[in-house]
Amino acid sequence: MSLKNILDIEELNKTHVLKIIESTGYFKEVLGRDLKKVPALRGKTIINIFYEPSTRTRTSFELAAKRLSADVINFSPSSSSMKKGETELDTIKTILEMKADLAVVRHKDSGFVKYISEHITIPVINAGDGRHAHPTQALLDLFTIYCHFKRMEKIKIAIVGDILNSRVARSDISLFKKMDLEVFTVSPSMLLPEDMSYFDTKNFECIDEIIGQCDVIYMLRMQFERQNKKFYPSVREYNRFFTLDFKRFNNMKEGAILMHPGPVNRGIEIDGRVLDMEDRNLAKIKIGEQVGNGVAVRMALLHYLLSQK
């Protein structure tokens, strides 16, 4: 059961995943208490090293660490000695001399977090690297699905949108298939990798082909910041085939849920009118719940890595 790092879903087996899901359930219960804090990591120091902008993920990790009574350092490269010529690895080694116990790292380049993990001695959690992986997002997504359906068997999931540029898509598909969920993709050809054999999923070119069949409709964020060219003719054309509008929302399978990793590009992935209905449709729209579950799953991972003998 021992793991040093959480870098990629591929490194986890079913036993690891089930243990993390079980632990997340406990920490979600903690977060529901009046006193939302436990002393599990008192005396430990977590450092968040984010080379790429993030609000949700960084804040989620920071809150998770504080709920476990750990100390937290948030490192911003924009104000670091890297401005003076120091390399990223030199900067990280310098920070670790301050005796941090675990590093949470996000970087714009695929594979960089693994490179860092090979050059430092403390545990590392990948908070997203380029187009490669976002394992903690996948774990919180799986936990959200499990909380709703109380099972993982016979769940059909449609992952819709920018598959090519999405690290969330890669990690989610890998994890969902590992846990025997049935996964489909819905995407135009220009937003798919050239080689789809890695995913081994059936792709649909219009959300209407599958929306009434799936238990989970997972809308991906359009990754404009990672697109070095225009991948789709227009927003209007994208809306025609892929956007979750009000009509499609009502055509979802009975009991199905809507998910999105956030933040949502209103009017592109999901119609703003649908998003504004979330407070009245909590059983169906799980975007807010995903955020809360993110804190619980990150508490579980921090505790898991730092409590192993």
My answer on whether 250 and 267 are in the same domain is yes
- Would residue 267 count as lying in a domain? yes
My answer on whether 108 and 160 are in the same domain is no
My answer on whether 280 and 299 are in the same domain is no
Quick one: 293 exposed, middle or buried, by C-beta within 10 A (0-12, 13-18, 19+)?
buried
Would you give the distance in Å from CA 110 to the centre of its chain? 15
Instruction: Provide the 10 A C-beta neighbour count for residue 295.
Output: 25
Check pLDDT > 80 for residue 308.
Answer: no
Compute the distance between CA of residue 114 and CA of residue 289 in angstroms, rounded to an integer.
Answer: 29
My answer on whether 80 and 66 are in the same domain is yes
Predicted pLDDT at 169: 97
Mean per-residue pLDDT over the chain, rounded? 92
- Would residue 1 count as lying in a domain? no
- Would residue 191 count as lying in a domain? yes
My answer on whether 14 and 102 are in the same domain is yes
- Would residue 27 count as lying in a domain? yes
My answer on whether 167 and 267 are in the same domain is yes
- Would residue 2 count as lying in a domain? no
Predicted pLDDT at 87: 82
Compute the distance between CA of residue 169 and CA of residue 274 in angstroms, rounded to an integer.
Answer: 22
My answer on whether 78 and 161 are in the same domain is no
- Would residue 274 count as lying in a domain? yes
Check pLDDT > 60 for residue 79.
Answer: no
Q: How far is CA 199 from CA 185, 189, 269, 298, in A?
A: 9, 14, 21, 26
**Bridge pairing between strands 124-129 and 102-107:** parallel
Check pLDDT > 60 for residue 250.
Answer: yes
Predicted pLDDT at 309: 54
Q: CATH number for the domain including 142?
A: 3.40.50.1370
Compute the distance between CA of residue 248 and CA of residue 4 in angstroms, rounded to an integer.
Answer: 43
My answer on whether 62 and 161 are in the same domain is no
My answer on whether 191 and 272 are in the same domain is yes
Predicted pLDDT at 295: 98
Which of 66-80, 139-153, 191-205 has the weakest average pLDDT?
66-80
Question: How many domains in the chain?
Answer: 2
Q: Are 167 and 131 in contact (CB under 8 A)?
A: yes
Structural domain boundaries enclosing 211: 135-287
Predicted pLDDT at 80: 57
Quick one: 278 exposed, middle or buried, by C-beta within 10 A (0-12, 13-18, 19+)?
middle
My answer on whether 151 and 280 are in the same domain is yes
- Would residue 230 count as lying in a domain? yes
What pTM was estimated for this model as a whole? 0.94
Q: What would the mean pLDDT of 100-109 be, rounded to a whole number?
A: 94
My answer on whether 162 and 278 are in the same domain is yes
Question: What tokens appear for 96 in the block?
Answer: 């670790």
Predicted pLDDT at 81: 55
- Would residue 4 count as lying in a domain? no
Q: How far is CA 14 from CA 17, 145, 175, in A?
A: 5, 16, 9
My answer on whether 49 and 187 are in the same domain is no
